[in-house]
Amino acid sequence: MYILLLALKMTWQNFAAAKLRTFLTVLGIIIGIASVVVVMSVGNSAQNVLLDQVRLIGSNLIAILPGASADNGPPAIAFGVVSTTLTSDDIDQIRDKNNFPHVLYAAGYTSTTKLVRYRKENASYEIQGISPDGINVENMNLATGRFFTEAENTALRRVAVIGSRAAGELFGNETPEGKMIRIGKANYRVIGTLKERGSSFAGDFDETVYVPLHTAQSTIMGINYLSFARIRVDDEKNIEKTKEDIRVLLKSRHKIPQSEEGDFSVRDLASAINILSSITNVMKYFLVTVASIALVVGGIGIMNMMLITLKKRVREIGLRIALGARGRDIALQFLVESVTISVMGGALGSLIGWGVAELVGIVANSRGVAWRVTQDAEIFVMAFGIAGVIGIVFGLYPAYKAMRVSPMEALRYE
C-alpha cells in the first residue's frame, strides 16, 4: 500500500511538471469515453422512444401483412413488395365469433397520400381507409363529432374523420364538423376530429385523414385489396391461439396447403418488439464499436507520452534502482501514471457525455418527441472499466521498458 501511495504522489508531481502534455494526452481519452457514453445513452433513449411508440398501439394486437415472410424476419412490405392477396372478405371472416371467440375487433387498412383542400388552405396528408372497427382497434379518442359507421362504409359514403393537427391546419378556429374538404377530385364531409395521439414509426396520427375503407378502395385508390389488417384480442394469453387460427383460415381461403408457407404473415406486438429490439441493439453496438476507435487513439497517445517520459526520466530511474528500488516498483510507477491518466479522462469524458445526452433530450422534447433520457449506471461503470483497461493495456509496454533500464547505463546517461 505504501508503494502504491508513493507511486500516486510521484504521478501527480510528474503531471504537474508537464501540464500541457498531460492535458493533451487526457483529451484523447475524454473524447473517446464521451463518444461511448453519448452513443450508449442516446441509443438507449432512441430505442425506448421507438418501443414506446410500438406499445402505444396496444399490447394485445395482431397484425396481418400481405406477402410471405419468415416469422422472425422483416415483412415483404418492408422491401416495397406490394401483395394483393389480403382482402376485406378475409377480415370479415375473422370477425366471426363462432370461429374466433377471442377477437374483439378487426380492421382492414389502405393508405395513400393526397392533397387535401379546404377553401384556400391545402396540404398533403396521409389518407387512411379504415374499417369502422378501427376506432376500437387503435384505441382512438374522439375530440368532437363521431366516427363513420358500417352502413356508411358499405354505401361508399364520402365522409372523413381527421387528426387534431390536420384539423387545426385546415380549419384554424372553425368547427370542422359538417364542413366539406376536397380529397383528390372529390368532396368529403367532415364528421369528427380525433384527440391528439402523437406520432410513431408508422407515421403521424395527428396528420392523418381517415375515411371509410371501401370508400378509399373504390373512389380514392381504385383497388380491392388491403395494405394490412389489425386485430385486437381479449387477452394477451390468447394471442398465439388466435394467430394460429388466422393462419389456418387464410391458407384455406387462399387455397394454400396447410403444410406450406402462406402468402401473408401474422405478427403480434411482442414479436415486433423483439425484432425491433434486436435491430436497434445491433445498430447501437456497431456505433459503440466505431466510437471506441477514438479510445484506441487515446490509448496510443498514452503509450506515446509514457515512452517520451521514459527517455526523460532515465537518470531518475537509475538513481531509484541504485537506492534499492526494484524493477517491479519502477513498472508500477509507470503503470499507475498510465491508469491515472486514463481514469481521469474517463471521469471527465463521462461527465461530458452525460451533459451531451441530456442536451439531446432537451432538444428532442422541445421538438415534440417524447424523449426519455436513459442514463443507466451500467453505462458509466462500463465507461470507467474501459478507461481502466485502456490505461493498463497501453501502459504495459512503457512499464516493461522502464523496468528493463540498466542502472549503470542510467547513471551514465546525459
- Residues 203, 176 within the same domain: yes
397 and 280 in a common domain: yes
Asked if the structure places residue 67 within a domain, the reply is no
Where does a domain end: 262, 284, 303? 262
More confident residue, 282 or 120: 120
pLDDT over 90 at 294, yes or no: no
Q: Is residue 392 located within the same domain as residue 341?
A: yes
Q: What's the distance, Cα to Cα, between the start and end of the chain in Å?
A: 33
Q: Which of 213, 228, 262 is the last residue of a domain?
A: 262
What pLDDT, on the 0 to 100 scale, is given for residue 2? 47
Grid cell 542510467 — which residue? 410
Q: Tell me the pLDDT band of 202, cut-offs 50, 70 and 90.
A: low
For range 103-115, the mean pLDDT: 93
Same domain flag for 296 and 253: no
> Is 229 in the same domain as 336?
no
Res 380: pLDDT: 75
Q: Which of 98-102, 262-266, 358-362, 376-380 is most confident?
A: 98-102
Q: Which of 66-70, 79-83, 248-252 has the lowest mean pLDDT?
A: 79-83
**Residues 126 and 247 reside in one and the same domain:** yes
Q: pTM higher than 0.95, yes or no?
A: no
- Any domain includes 69: no
- The residue from 262, 284, 317 where one domain ends is 262
**Residues 97 and 225 reside in one and the same domain:** yes
Residue 137's alpha-carbon distances to 94, 257, 265, 339, 357, in angstroms, are 14, 30, 19, 58, 36
In this structure, the answer to whether residues 195 and 98 fall within a common structural domain is yes
Measured between alpha carbons, how far is 146 from 177 in angstroms, rounded to an integer? 9
In a domain, 65, yes or no: no
> What average pLDDT does the structure give for the chain?
80
Q: Does any domain span residue 79?
A: no
Same domain, 40 and 14: yes
Is 61 contained in some domain? no
146 lies in a domain? yes
The answer to whether residues 41 and 131 belong to one domain is: no
Cα 193 from chain centre: 30
Residue 6 belongs to domain spanning:
2-54+276-412
The answer as to whether 121 is a domain residue is yes
Q: Please, are residues 215 and 156 in contact by the beta-carbon 8 Å criterion?
A: yes
Give the three cell numbers for residue 257. 396447403
Q: Is there a single domain that holds both residue 221 and residue 348? A: no
- To which residue does cell 380529397 refer? 183
Q: What is the pLDDT of residues 45-78, one digit of tens each?
A: 777 776 666 666 666 888 888 876 655 555 555 5
Q: How many domains does the chain have?
A: 2
Cα torsion 290, 304, 344, 2: sign:
positive
Rounded to whole angstroms, the Cα distance separating 181 from 193 reads: 13
**Is residue 363 one of the residues assigned to a domain?**
yes
Torsion of CA 280, 286, 287, 290, to 10 degrees: 180
Query: Is there a single domain that holds both residue 250 and residue 314?
Result: no
